[in-house]
Amino acid sequence: MALDSRVPKGPIKDKWTDYKNKINLVNPANKRHIDVIVVGTGLAGGSAAATLAELGYNVKAFAYQDSPRRAHSIAAQGGINAAKNYQGDGDSTYRLFYDTVKGGDYRSREANVYRLAEVSANIIDQCVAQGVPFARDYGGLLDNRSFGGVLVSRTFYAKGQTGQQLLLGAYSAMNRQIARGKIEMFNRHEMLDVVIVDGKARGIIARNLITGEIERHSAHAVVIASGGYGNVYFLSTNAMGSNATAAWKIHKKGAYFANPCYTQIHPTCIPRSGDYQSKLTLMSESLRNDGRIWVPKNMDDVLAIREGRKKPTDLSEDERDYYLERRYPAFGNLVPRDVASRAAKERCDAGYGVNATGEAVYLDFASAIQRYGKEQAKIHNISNPSAEKIYELGQKIVEAKYGNLFQMYEKIVDEDPYKTPMMIYPATHYTMGGVWVDYNLMTTIPGCYCIGEANFSDHGANRLGASALMQGLADGYFVLPYTIGDYLADDIRTGKISTATKEFDEAEKAVKDRIDFFINNKGTKSVDHFHKRLGKVMWDKVGMARNEKGLKEAMAEIKAIREEFWKEVKVPGNANELNPELEKAGRVADFLELGELFAKDALVREESCGGHFREESVELDGEQKGEAKRDDENFAFVSAWEYKGEPADAVLHKEQLEFKDIELKQRSYK
């Protein structure tokens, strides 16, 4: 099947408006007869469910948590971008579009990104109307901050909890519709398969996680909004339950999976402290505005620090290697996420990691405290301030800016980051890849849509800060509710979809068989055992830097782990009860397939772009020596994979990317 992105004709700035004017609509009386299933209730799923219900569709929403409000969108800290130009600093729809495409290393679809930038301003209006308490200035107007890699202040925020507040906004809109009976909410339910009838997505099979009951749910369309697959690494900043099962199930039923190798590794996370570690905690990117990143210059000092014979503060300036400032004098500590992450890995691989695991670098605020302290002394007219006074004044400023983050760090690590530098290390954070969708956000299965982080569409090979929230809400509030009407217009005479059909029988049987297998398999190893092994292979060989040999090994190793998993996995308890181990088993089984496809995708993409770095594809000389080298001639396409059984047999379909409104350039931060 040839991929058709269905991007409308016409100039980029008119595409969305013209398209909306021409697509089919469903009249309000008919919407009442149409059911839509939404799987996942984060920013994308929650906003979509609420909006579809407002329009009049009957929505069934599914969440594995006990409330839609607990979806992992809630953990986003920094903010949400919107081209409002409230600061009058020259922001515009085009600029946001341009920044997003460039930030994505020219691997996203222009028309989708432009539409995203276009609706971004409406998101802020909508959220404020819902009562989202964005930060304001003393004049009572909305405040903005600037975020990594862009030249304007366009990020709206609510303290360090922007994701939480936006999700609660969407959740409140859902609650209104649940109260009206327009959304039927299924908490503690997990989708375990999609049901295809006559080539169209017509329902799902879900498990009630409390009773274990397997349920059939039918609808005229199915929307997947189940988030990213970062937990394929076992350790990530994702929630423990975040999983790829819904996305992977539709892939196995015909939806192409795009660009799985594009993963964002966030540079500033709290390092792993031991093998028991269950997840990694992100420290906001904003810390890099004032923190300086370094490791010791000499191996002796590294060992001394690891063994506790020396403290980082004992090292003089000459004994420190501020490697980002050394390698990237122009951007210094503020290089984009992917560059900062790889540089940390490079130092740690060379043996300079500063904690027991050898996977940590310092993020030092001492010079920021000095700088602010001196500045404050001047402002307060203190002549000849003592070193203590300067420190005290400077610490106050740092505390005002980052106090909550410092406190969080101290709670976790038990060290005072005002006194000793923080330790940080990169961690998997976001997955740009996902289910392939066309301009309508429909997958290659008719009637099956995919929105938010679960799809591949807007961020190319790298996502800019504060853009994930924007995309989730844009998809859910402003894009999908329109585009889905175009498809559903043909369904007004279909009537209720029956669940008493052979397609539902078969899907349910397959789901039940798999559950029975897990329960009855008398294996010897826990689910986590396999998940951790998969995570290690992914991190070591399909992590921040990849090469052909490692990727081939990874594919073979993942396959071997998968085969062992199906023989040796042990799931205690029963199928007909709340059983967290059983839930995990199903998710890990899917990760074990996805991981291999991930490696295969990385193997095929023999260029470096964004979050995907191939060691074979670097600049060999000149100013950019050693930096990532993109290959626009051969790889300016989206890899969309068709399922054929074994992940290794997946078939590649290419969607060629065209850049008519933006000139392709190399990113340089030197």
Subset of residues 380 to 399 that bind another protein, contact rule: CB under 8 A = none
Helix (H) or strand (E) run with residue 501 in it: none
Residue 84 touches another protein, criterion: CB under 8 A: yes
Subset of residues 440 to 479 that bind another protein, contact rule: CB under 8 A = 477-478
**How far is Cα 605 from Cα 432, in angstroms, rounded to an integer?**
15
> DSSP H helical segments within 380-495, as ranges?
387-413, 468-473, 480-488
Q: Which is nearer to another protein, 191 or 196 (CB)?
A: 191
- Confirm if 224 and 248 have CB atoms less than 8 A apart: no
What single letter denotes the amino acid at residue 114? Y
Task: Kindly state the smallest distance separating residue 228's Cβ from another protein, in Å.
Answer: 14
**Given 6, 87, 94, 122, the residue binding another protein (CB under 8 A):** 122
Task: Kindly state the smallest distance separating residue 72's Cβ from another protein, in Å.
Answer: 6
- Given the structure tokens 């290089």, which residue do they identify? 335
**How far is Cα 178 from Cα 183, in angstroms, rounded to an integer?**
5
**How far is Cα 458 from Cα 468, in angstroms, rounded to an integer?**
9
Give the range of 160-168, 335-343, 634-642, 652-660 binding another protein by CB under 8 A. 160-168
Task: Kindly state the smallest distance separating residue 522's Cβ from another protein, in Å.
Answer: 10
Q: Which residues pair with 455 in a beta bridge?
A: 435
What single letter denotes the amino acid at residue 58? N
Q: Which residues pair with 618 in a beta bridge?
A: 628
The token pair at 534 is: 């998969």
Cβ of 575: how many Cβ atoms within 10 Å?
A: 17
Residue 269 touches another protein, criterion: CB under 8 A: no
Give the range of 494-502, 553-561, 566-574, 652-660 binding another protein by CB under 8 A. 566-574
Subset of residues 4 to 63 that bind another protein, contact rule: CB under 8 A = 47, 50-51, 54
Helix (H) or strand (E) run with residue 171 in it: helix 162-180
Closest of 662, 607, 661 to residue 636, by C-alpha: 607
What single letter denotes the amino acid at residue 613? F
**Given 490, 564, 581, 619, the residue binding another protein (CB under 8 A):** 581
Task: Kindly state the smallest distance separating residue 617's Cβ from another protein, in Å.
Answer: 35
Task: Kindly state the smallest distance separating residue 51's Cβ from another protein, in Å.
Answer: 4
**How far is Cα 394 from Cα 374, in angstroms, rounded to an integer?**
7
Q: Which is nearer to another protein, 123 or 461 (CB)?
A: 123
**Given 19, 57, 106, 134, the residue binding another protein (CB under 8 A):** 134
Q: What is the DSSP letter of 479?
A: I
**Given 10, 403, 495, 580, the residue binding another protein (CB under 8 A):** 580
Q: Which is nearer to another protein, 277 or 547 (CB)?
A: 277
Subset of residues 273 to 292 that bind another protein, contact rule: CB under 8 A = 273-274, 276-279, 281-282
Total residues at interface with another protein (CB under 8 A): 80
Residue 136 touches another protein, criterion: CB under 8 A: yes
Q: Which is nearer to another protein, 411 or 660 (CB)?
A: 411
- Confirm if 432 and 609 have CB atoms less than 8 A apart: no
Q: Which is nearer to another protein, 308 or 572 (CB)?
A: 572
The token pair at 286 is: 């904003």
Site string for another protein, 222-261 (x = CB under 8 A): ---------------x-xxx--------------------
Residue 624 touches another protein, criterion: CB under 8 A: no
Task: Kindly state the smallest distance separating residue 176's Cβ from another protein, in Å.
Answer: 4
Give the range of 72-80, 419-427, 495-503, 620-628 binding another protein by CB under 8 A. 72-80
Give the range of 290-298, 440-448, 464-472, 570-578 binding another protein by CB under 8 A. 570-578
Task: Kindly state the smallest distance separating residue 366's Cβ from another protein, in Å.
Answer: 24
Q: Which is nearer to another protein, 237 or 376 (CB)?
A: 237
Subset of residues 584 to 603 that bind another protein, contact rule: CB under 8 A = none
The token pair at 505 is: 């029988």
Residue 376 touches another protein, criterion: CB under 8 A: no
Residue 308 touches another protein, criterion: CB under 8 A: no
Subset of residues 490 to 509 that bind another protein, contact rule: CB under 8 A = none
- Confirm if 272 and 425 have CB atoms less than 8 A apart: yes
Could you tell me if residue 85 is left (phi over 0), alpha (psi between -120 and 50 degrees) or otherwise beta? left
Q: Which is nearer to another protein, 360 or 638 (CB)?
A: 360
Q: Which of 272, 337, 562, 587 is catalytic?
A: 337
Q: What is the DSSP letter of 192?
A: E
Q: Which is nearer to another protein, 198 or 275 (CB)?
A: 275
**Given 184, 382, 573, 661, the residue binding another protein (CB under 8 A):** 573
Q: What is the DSSP letter of 230?
A: G
- Confirm if 258 and 598 have CB atoms less than 8 A apart: no
Residue 124 touches another protein, criterion: CB under 8 A: yes
Q: What angle do CA 653, 536, 463 make, to 5 degrees?
A: 50
DSSP 376-396: HHHHTT-SS--HHHHHHHHHH
Q: Which is nearer to another protein, 171 or 504 (CB)?
A: 171
What single letter denotes the amino acid at residue 385? P
Q: Which is nearer to another protein, 319 or 410 (CB)?
A: 410
Residue 400 touches another protein, criterion: CB under 8 A: no
**Given 1, 2, 179, 379, the residue binding another protein (CB under 8 A):** 179
- Confirm if 20 and 8 have CB atoms less than 8 A apart: no
Q: Which is nearer to another protein, 514 or 525 (CB)?
A: 525
Could you tell me if residue 78 is left (phi over 0), alpha (psi between -120 and 50 degrees) or otherwise beta? alpha
Q: What is the DSSP letter of 670?
A: -
Residue 298 touches another protein, criterion: CB under 8 A: no
Task: Kindly state the smallest distance separating residue 478's Cβ from another protein, in Å.
Answer: 6
Residue 422 touches another protein, criterion: CB under 8 A: no
Give the range of 167-175, 419-427, 586-594, 599-607 binding another protein by CB under 8 A. 167-175
**How far is Cα 111 from Cα 659, in angstroms, rounded to an integer?**
10
Task: Kindly state the smallest distance separating residue 11's Cβ from another protein, in Å.
Answer: 21
Q: Which is nearer to another protein, 277 or 420 (CB)?
A: 277
- Confirm if 214 and 512 have CB atoms less than 8 A apart: yes
SS3 label, residue 190:
strand
337 is catalytic: yes
**What does the CA dihedral 177, 183, 185, 186 come to, rounded to 10 degrees?**
-170
- Confirm if 226 and 454 have CB atoms less than 8 A apart: yes
**How far is Cα 54 from Cα 38, in angstroms, rounded to an integer?**
14
Give the range of 103-111, 164-172, 393-401, 437-445 binding another protein by CB under 8 A. 164-172
- Exposure of 653 in the CB half-sphere (CA atoms within 13 A): 20
C-alpha radius of gyration, the chain, whole number: 25
Subset of residues 92 to 121 that bind another protein, contact rule: CB under 8 A = 119
Subset of residues 519 to 548 that bind another protein, contact rule: CB under 8 A = 526, 528
Round to the nearest angstrom and report the end-to-end CA distance of the chain: 43
**How far is Cα 447 from Cα 458, in angstroms, rounded to an integer?**
21
Active site residues: 337
